[in-house]
Structure 1
Amino acid sequence: MSGSPQSGNDLDALVCLVGRGDVDAFAALYDRTRTRVFGLIVRLLRDPGYSEDTTQEVYLQVWRSAAQFDPAAGSALAWLLTLAHRRAVDRVRSEEAATRRDLRYGAASGEPAADVVVESAIQHDEARRVADCLQSLTDLQRECIELAYYRGLTYVEVSQRLAANLPTVKSRMRDALRGLRTCLGVS
């Protein structure tokens, strides 16, 4: 199947074939989507090594759960990017838990944690910048971002929660993410 990653019907068909165990369809799906999936993950994790591992985990999850994909619920690309986003958020939470655990056990053993103050200051500064940039969004855009990224809801769940059409929610999310990228100076 030829086409760009944006050709939704082709991707939908590929995911359905992957759900039936088609290895060639999986290879084609990977070739067409790996750049977008890795790009999303690396933007969230900011670590190429963890991003590569997480991308691999996403595609393993795709292979295992493609049979559950429902084209009526949304596009294959949206499904795939949602899996990637959730996996990356899980990785961040896991790393934060490990850091807290290390700090707790490090403090109990009397060993000072290396660079904790610097890392904490950087995280605090980044969190403040994101919070400031969130304030530059419209109330509706901010609410969409908070529901999707801070509460982990899917776009469908966000649209249900806000009683808004799914395309409207997707537009708000796209505009909000574009605004955040601009505000944060991320290309």
Structure 2
Amino acid sequence: MDRLSGGDEDALGDLYERTSAKLFGICLRILHDREEAEDVLQDVYLSVWRRADRFDADRASPITWLATIARNRSIDRLRQIGRRGGDRPMNEAEDVADSSPDAFARLAQGDDGRRLATCLRELDERTQASILAAFYGGLTYEALAERLSVPLGTIKSRIRRGLIKLKGCLSQ
């Protein structure tokens, strides 16, 4: 990330080579459309190129930071698609299998991940499941509320309170 923030184009190529399959999987899982996922992935790397100097290793690992950007950009694109009224079929999602660990599994392998897993276990089951579905499962708050048959405000409040508790636990 230091090389990247210094404008090293080779560093961007190395980063892309190491992370693109995982990030594409995140985008595709959220968008259910290969072309949209490819567009978002390109946008993610352009954003990373421009904002590499904002990466803070004390707050997250590089893959966690990248996965968060990919998730957020994918959700933004999903909302754009919805506003355009397009209903995208999930025609190619099954063809993309990624056998490597997902973002949560990779995060859990490190010290930060073990701390996060411990703090997540301290949350009540509904809050824990909601946070995992939203942040690691790629569900939007709206989709999660629909899946659980609860009001959108309830999901937002549950996740917000859970994130506050996680932040407190992780800062200890």
Aligned residue pairs: how many?
A: 117
3-state SS of 2:7 partner = coil
Larger RCO of the pair (alpha carbons < 8 Å, separation 6+) = 2
Cα displacement (A) at 1:98:
1.1
* Residue ranges of structure 2 left out of the alignment (5+ in a row): 88-123, 142-154
Structure 1 position 147, deviation (Å): 6.5
Corresponding residue to 1:141 among 128, 140, 153: 128
| Structure 1 residue runs without a partner (length 5+) | 1-14, 103-118, 120-136, 168-187
Q: Equivalent of 1:95, from 62, 74, 81?
A: 81
Aligned equivalents of 1:46, 1:75: Cα separation in 2: 26
> Using a 3 Å threshold, how does the CA distance of structure 1 residues 74 and 162 change in structure 2: closer, same or farther?
closer
Tell me how far apart the structure 2 counterparts of residues 158 and 66 of structure 1 sit (CA, whole Å): 29
State which of 74, 77, 83 in structure 1 corresponds to 2:63: 77
Write 1 or 2 for the structure with the bigger share of helix.
Answer: 1
- The Cα of 1:17 is off from its aligned counterpart by 1.2
* TM-score (ref. length: structure 1): 0.54
> 1:139 is aligned with what amino acid?
R
Give distance in 2, aligned partners of 1:163 and 1:69. Answer: 19
TM-score (norm 2): 0.58
Q: Alpha-carbon deviation of 1:141?
A: 1.7
Counterpart position of 2:13: 27
- Name the CA distance, whole Å, in 1 between partners of 2:41 and 2:134: 24
The one-letter code of the counterpart of 1:141 is: Q
Larger Rg: 1
2:164 is aligned with what amino acid?
Q
Using the aligned pairs only, state the percent identity: 33
> 2:164 maps to which residue?
160
